[in-house]
Amino acid sequence: MDLKTASALRRLRLVSAPEAVSFLLLLVCSVLKRTTDFNAVPVMGMVHGVLFVLYVLFWADAWNRAKWPLGTAALYFVLSVLPTGGFFAERRLRREAEGAVIASRARKEGVVNA
């Protein structure tokens, strides 16, 4: 894995958890708006919208650089629209990055010819 691909996956991983948190907070704010006089939906909607757009941009970049199959790319996109999906995406991306680092180190040390 080259440096640009690793950077793209890292950016996607770093934005996935905050995007999931903002989605959950937006849902809580929506409920509070309906049940109380507290209305933070405009603010949380903007925060979540910005994080979601960043997630989609980083997802497209990671898909392009990592050459994921369509199923993997679709899975990461579907995880972005589920309320807690960003947490699962972050975990999978972390495992994928760790595996790439291990493979890279093995190739450097001459353990694997790949």
Which tens digit of pLDDT belongs to each residue from 72-107?
999 999 998 998 899 999 999 988 888 777 777 777
Which tens digit of pLDDT belongs to each residue from 41-53?
999 999 999 999 9
Q: Write out the two tokens for 71.
A: 């199923």
Closest CA to 89 of 101, 77, 103: 77
Are residues 33 and 27 in contact, defined by beta-carbon separation less than 8 angstroms? no
- With a cut of 70, say whether residue 32 has pLDDT above it: yes
Our CA dihedral for 25, 26, 30, 36, rounded to 10 degrees, sits at 40
